[in-house]
Amino acid sequence: MSVKATTKSPKTYHLHRDRQRRRILDAARKLFDERGIDRTTMAEVIAASGVRASTLYEYFSRKDEIVWAIFGDMLAEDAESVKKRLEGATTGLAKITALLQHMADQLSTEPTKVRFMAQFDAMYAREWPVERMLTLEGELNDQGFKVFGTLIREGIADGSLRADLDTELTLHAVINAVIGAQRRLASLGSKVEVEYGQPIHRLFQETIRIFLLGLSATKLPGRTRRSSRAAARTSTTRKRTP
Amino acid sequence: MSVKATTKSPKTYHLHRDRQRRRILDAARKLFDERGIDRTTMAEVIAASGVRASTLYEYFSRKDEIVWAIFGDMLAEDAESVKKRLEGATTGLAKITALLQHMADQLSTEPTKVRFMAQFDAMYAREWPVERMLTLEGELNDQGFKVFGTLIREGIADGSLRADLDTELTLHAVINAVIGAQRRLASLGSKVEVEYGQPIHRLFQETIRIFLLGLSATKLPGRTRRSSRAAARTSTTRKRTP
Amino acid sequence: MSVKATTKSPKTYHLHRDRQRRRILDAARKLFDERGIDRTTMAEVIAASGVRASTLYEYFSRKDEIVWAIFGDMLAEDAESVKKRLEGATTGLAKITALLQHMADQLSTEPTKVRFMAQFDAMYAREWPVERMLTLEGELNDQGFKVFGTLIREGIADGSLRADLDTELTLHAVINAVIGAQRRLASLGSKVEVEYGQPIHRLFQETIRIFLLGLSATKLPGRTRRSSRAAARTSTTRKRTP
Amino acid sequence: MSVKATTKSPKTYHLHRDRQRRRILDAARKLFDERGIDRTTMAEVIAASGVRASTLYEYFSRKDEIVWAIFGDMLAEDAESVKKRLEGATTGLAKITALLQHMADQLSTEPTKVRFMAQFDAMYAREWPVERMLTLEGELNDQGFKVFGTLIREGIADGSLRADLDTELTLHAVINAVIGAQRRLASLGSKVEVEYGQPIHRLFQETIRIFLLGLSATKLPGRTRRSSRAAARTSTTRKRTP
DNA sequence: AATGAATGAGACTTCATTCAT
DNA sequence: GATGAATGAAGTCTCATTCAT
């Protein structure tokens, strides 16, 4: 058997390492969502992932690092996906719409991820170094948050956005609010539904709609008949839910 | 003489009891803000409040109960304050503006409170009973969340709001987003400022402005010269920060 | 009201005191049986009895005292009842039979009491002063344990008991075993029934029967047809259960 | 080289683990006997065993588990010892005598064990699952409690026991009483001696003697001269204590 | 790289009981 | 005599993490 160990190719080795890492991360991700990050103990992660305590520490030297690793993975996934979305759009408004719609889709299809982010914000807010955050949604785009200014400028230029928007302020504010809304809906989930009597995804769509109405140059007539998804993505018109 | 003993005590007792309760709650509130709710231990609350451990447990038998008590107090304070604000406004739009402006003021003057709420949402979201939440901002008004519908209806009727808003949906969505935005800004504080290069209060004002633009019936000309506070409360016009 | 207090007759006062005492003792007795003496906390007794902690301590200055008070009450009840039983019997054997039958009845009608005694023995065994125990079953009779010797002597004399019994030993041994058997059955209750496949009361009757067979002078024919209760009390013949 | 590491560990580990386990169990056993199970705190066990608190919890996660472990060990010891005893005896009566004599010896040589059992019964009576108890003295023999019936049947067949005994009842009842007597004597120890004026071991022998007299087919003449130990084991004749 | 064992440092509570009024 | 409040002293158990092999 020691022979085997000796001949093991570096490839096999890395594969194994990655698989182990995955197991740990996946177990943690699940637990963090079910019981909350802080409420989850290392012992639970250890039990759920099936590795021994001491082995786990070979991969992650502190609980924090697991959290950050998950966080990093999520960011990477996201950046990719957003970039694609933006490519399809032409006007400034269309691009912003695409951005927001991305978040709506995320809320529907990956509530777990959104919930994790919400927790991350709340718990790590006080202790993380700002630089990390700059990496955060900044990785969405090479220019970091400067994209926001660019998009506004572009929209004003092509006439799709109101002329009185602030390139350094408006989109930052809107994105912050949309993130806040999205995470709150994901965290409270069915509770908001009971409370407000509306499914969270509808609430989120309405949030987007109002924002886009506020940003777009011309007041489009409300309550049109158009309700296709594609339409919703580039217009601020009310989209009726089926 | 027994009369004296009997009549004197109850008052004294209650006064004392309330004072002790306050001490504990205040100490906890401070710690929760400084170190986070979950990161705060009972031992710390005990040390900070100056009561003995066993005495504290006479008042609150679990950390949870302290959290809930603080939460309850905050709600009560809020409900009061909001009610007053609404009384001054006349049109639907003005009322909504007042509501949002209340949150802006709160963010500026009581960031601690907002931060607590943010933590509360994120950490206790999964374990609280929905009923509790119904009390929450529901205590804003006797009608609960039905006010939202009423305000929209009122605004449409008086011509201050767009006609295509949904009485059962729009304001719920907007308020949720505004709460989300407010809490996120309060939690991340200086981190957002560094990141976005804008003071959080300006970001929040812009959030409100865009929302109101999206809600209001006529598109007011942007970038007006008016920038008085009073004006901001009833208009959706950009308010320049001083 | 202070007037009332002044005119309160000593009678009323005592009545009140006794009632309070009862409430406490009854609550404790119930809890001790349900949860075990040591597992029962003062807080529970306080809650169950409805008096305040400080009031309770006016009546019993330690938990121990509650236990001893209950114990004392039980002994008093017992002594009385045993005395009556013995009066009816004539021969030595009849008297011993009456004594054992008393314990059988107690097991059936007051299992709670027996269980309490079992706990008392087990828990207080190591810490009580022997003198207290001498009061114990010693109060059965003015002569204390000397009755045991007397009964044996009487039975040998009247020919109902074997001649080779030891006046200073035999009945002591038998009573000890019978108490042990009774308490064990009461404590384990349904568990023994499941285990042995026999109702505890039948097991206890059989225990008595064998003992009496061992004590009585002549070997009575077993399995007779007589099965009346009265018969069982003076004979060692097997009593068939219905 | 990896071979060496792999093959050396398991053995060493187990040896070490067992030694630690022993240390804890032995310390606990001693304390339980000295101060009572419930009166013994984990802190005491920790101090006495010399391991750190957290280490102890790696072995036993609750006090209960220590209690059960001790209990299990005792049962195992017992089952063994009883089996041997029974092998030597021929008639039914001889076997029962051997069984009871085993308990007498146990009372003399291992009062600690008997006292532990007494406590166990009393304290765990209300909370243990019946199945556990079925394992209990059931492990005495492969057939569980059915041995009792077998022994009686055997004794009736070979003429050593009375013919009117109940195979499903008699021995169960007797054993229960003998266990009760044994444990009571062990628990109360010197207190009974003071009270009854007899050494506990003599009291227990007398208990057995009477029982055997009750069970055996022919009434042997009492007060014989034979007093050897061997004799006592197969006869119901009074054995004089030295 | 993996692992069994260990562990320091506390966390959170509970309790029986005592006072001052 | 009744009561509200207080409290010292433990008690049980958890946890993230480290080490030696």
Q: For the domain that residue D212 is a member of, what is the CATH number?
A: 1.10.357.10
Residues B23 and B134 in one domain: no
Q: Which residues pair with B4 in a beta bridge?
A: none
- Cβ–Cβ gap B1/C2 under 8 Å: yes
Give the pLDDT of residue C84: 85
Q: Where are the alpha helices (DSSP H) in C36-91?
A: 42-49, 53-59, 63-88
- Is residue C122 scored above 60 in pLDDT? yes
Is the CB of residue B210 less than 8 Å from the CB of residue A170? yes
Residues B71 and B34 in one domain: no
**What percent of chain B clears pLDDT 70, i.e. is strictly above it?**
78
Residues B54 and B70 in one domain: no
Residues A220 and A106 in one domain: yes
- Is B3 touching C (CB cutoff 8 A)? yes
Separation between Cα atoms, residue B140 and residue B175, nearest integer Å: 13
How far in angstroms lies nucleotide E1's C1' from the CA of residue A47?
Answer: 19
Q: Token digits for D110?
A: 């291992």
pLDDT in tens, C151-198: 999 999 999 999 999 999 999 999 999 999 999 999 988 888 888 889
Nucleotides of strand E lying closer than 7 angstroms to a protein CB = 1-21
Residue C144 in any domain: the answer is: yes
Residue C136 in any domain: the answer is: yes
- Is residue B53 scored above 60 in pLDDT? yes
Is the CB of residue B232 less than 8 Å from the CB of residue B96? no
Across the A:B interface, residue pairs with CB atoms under 8 Å apart total: 200
Task: Find where tokens 């400067």 sit.
Answer: A146
pLDDT in tens, B146-172: 888 999 999 999 999 999 999 999 999
For the segment C217-223, the average pLDDT, to the nearest whole number, is 57
Give the pLDDT of residue D128: 75
Give the pLDDT of residue B10: 56
The residues of B between 36 and 55 with beta carbon within 7 Å of nucleic strand E are 41-44, 53-54
Separation between Cα atoms, residue A210 and residue A208, nearest integer Å: 5
Residues B173 and B70 in one domain: yes
CATH number at residue D14: 1.10.10.60
Give the pLDDT of residue A115: 92
Residue D130 in any domain: the answer is: yes
Residue D144 in any domain: the answer is: yes
Do A and D touch, counting CB pairs below 8 Å (3 needed)? yes
Residues B68 and B18 in one domain: no
Give the pLDDT of residue A142: 63
Residues A175 and A90 in one domain: yes
Give the pLDDT of residue C76: 82
Identify the residue with better confidence: B8 or D39.
Answer: D39
The residues of B between 9 and 38 with beta carbon within 7 Å of nucleic strand E are 9, 12
Q: Give residue D198's identity as a one-letter amino acid code.
A: Q
Give the pLDDT of residue C234: 46
Residue A202 in any domain: the answer is: yes
- Is A5 touching D (CB cutoff 8 A)? yes
Residues A101 and A158 in one domain: yes
Q: Which of D20, D37, D61 is the last residue of a domain?
A: D61
Give the pLDDT of residue D78: 84
Under the banding of pLDDT at 50, 70 and 90, the label for residue B1 is: very low
- Is residue D234 scored above 50 in pLDDT? no
Is the CB of residue C173 less than 8 Å from the CB of residue D203? yes
- Is D1 touching A (CB cutoff 8 A)? yes
Nucleotides of strand F lying closer than 7 angstroms to a protein CB = 1-21
For the segment B85-99, the average pLDDT, to the nearest whole number, is 90
Q: Which of C40, C61, C82 is the last residue of a domain?
A: C61
Q: Kind and range of the H or E element at A190?
A: helix A190-196
Residue B242 in any domain: the answer is: no
Q: Closest-CA residue in chain B for A198? A: B169
Q: Which of A19, A46, A61 is the last residue of a domain?
A: A61
Residues A10 and A119 in one domain: no
- Give chain A's residues under pLDDT 50: 1-7, 220-242
Residue D240 in any domain: the answer is: no
Chain D partners within 8 Å of C164 (Cβ)? 222-223, 238
The highest-confidence range among A79-88, B86-95, D140-149, by mean pLDDT, is B86-95
Angle at B238 between CA B237 and CA B242, to 5 degrees: 135
Residues A111 and A162 in one domain: yes
Give the pLDDT of residue C18: 85
Give the pLDDT of residue C230: 42
Pick the residue of B210, B216, B237 with the most A CBs within 10 A to test the interface with A by mutation: B210
Q: Count up the domains in chain A and report the number.
A: 2
How many angstroms separate the most distant Cα atoms in chain B?
77
What's the domain range around C173? 64-234
Q: Provide the 8-state DSSP code for D137.
A: G
Residues D176 and D218 in one domain: yes
A57 touches strand E (CB under 7 A): yes
Separation between Cα atoms, residue B111 and residue B102, nearest integer Å: 13
Residues C49 and C74 in one domain: no
Residue D242 in any domain: the answer is: no
Burial string for A17-50 (b: 16+ CB within 10 Å, else e) reads eeebeebbbebbbebbbeebbbebeeebbbebbe
Nearest to C94 by CA among C179, C142, C137, C154: C154
Give the pLDDT of residue D100: 95
For the segment B90-103, the average pLDDT, to the nearest whole number, is 93
- Is residue C137 scored above 70 in pLDDT? no
